[in-house]
Amino acid sequence: MSDLIHDQTPLAQAHNVTSGAADHGGHGAGHSRHLAHHFNSMSQQNASAKLGMWLFLAQELLFFSGLFLMYALGRYFYPETFLAAHELLDWKLGAVNTVVLLFSSLTMALAIRGAQTNNQKSIVTNLVLTIVCACAFLVIKYFEYSHKFHVGLLPGKYFSANLSELGLHHIPADFAPGVFFGVYFVMTGAHGIHVLVGIGLMIWLLVRARRGDFEPQSYAALENTGLYWHLVDLIWIYLFPLLYLVR
């Protein structure tokens, strides 16, 4: 994946220098320092990076599609359970997290805009804001998770919560809360790991942005991470109503 979001690393640079002599193909002297040895032009390089990222997102979607299928089946088999058990989730925290992630998508887009307009300060500021939002999301998620661990709202065979203590009085006949919390933890867990990866990518982008790596002609790494981040956001936008707002 690093190729899709990198334009040039030291390794590729070294490669480029040594291969220069062997390259009779005649690269013009005016070519960008970001152009890798095996591409003919920046537009070819950027188009490749972008197509690669879209394909990567396609496989991400299929990865999550399995989880959404799991959700659909769980809800199909146990509609009453999903209706009852969702009340054990805190929709207010979920809503706050939705706003936080939506805002981070905005700042991510603004960071890309900063690269397009060559506003280096805007790139850095907006990346920092995005990272802060992503961390805030995970902190809120941490509080949600630890509360559930504490009261025993756990997947499958580990489910041990005292439901009447938690204020859940209407319990359906074929109540299978383990299934609901299995779905909840696997889906939000997989999403959370993607948020973590996104934070890692943005920290690396931040280091590069402070080095002044991004220019109006060369910001594929920034744009591709942005695409990734919007997908992570989008998946949460589906997870929130499906898990927290069952009606």
Footprint of another protein (CB under 8 A): 1-4, 6, 9, 11-12, 15, 19, 22-25, 36-38, 40, 44, 47-48, 51-52, 55-56, 58-60, 62-67, 69-70, 73-74, 77-78, 154-158, 176, 178-179, 182-183, 185-186, 190
Torsion of CA 116, 118, 124, 127, to 10 degrees: 0
DSSP states of 56-77: HHHHHHHHHHHHHHHHHHHHHH
DSSP states of 176-218: -HHHHHHHHHHHHHHHHHHHHHHHHHHHHHHHHHHTT--BTTB
Minimum separation from the CB atom of position 173 to another protein (A) = 13
Minimum separation from the CB atom of position 69 to another protein (A) = 8
Minimum separation from the CB atom of position 24 to another protein (A) = 6
Q: Rounded to an integer, what distance in angstroms lies between the CA atom of residue 100 and that of residue 94?
A: 10
Q: Pick between residue 7 and residue 144 the one whose CB is nearest to another protein.
A: 7
Strand partners for 218: 215
Residue 166: CA atoms inside 13 Å, Cβ hemisphere, count? 20
User: End-to-end distance of the chain based on CA atoms, in angstroms?
Assistant: 39
| Identity of the amino acid at 147 | H
Minimum separation from the CB atom of position 66 to another protein (A) = 3
Strand partners for 215: 218
Q: Pick between residue 39 and residue 100 the one whose CB is nearest to another protein.
A: 39
Q: What is the largest distance, in Å, between two alpha-carbon atoms of the chain?
A: 78
Phi, psi of 218 (to 5 degrees): -145, 90
Minimum separation from the CB atom of position 62 to another protein (A) = 4
Q: Rounded to an integer, what distance in angstroms lies between the CA atom of residue 111 and that of residue 226?
A: 9
Q: Pick between residue 165 and residue 174 the one whose CB is nearest to another protein.
A: 174
Minimum separation from the CB atom of position 205 to another protein (A) = 17
Q: Pick between residue 117 and residue 149 the one whose CB is nearest to another protein.
A: 149
Minimum separation from the CB atom of position 158 to another protein (A) = 7
Q: Pick between residue 63 and residue 142 the one whose CB is nearest to another protein.
A: 63
For residue 225, give the 3-state DSSP assignment: helix
Q: Pick between residue 3 and residue 241 the one whose CB is nearest to another protein.
A: 3
Q: Pick between residue 8 and residue 126 the one whose CB is nearest to another protein.
A: 8
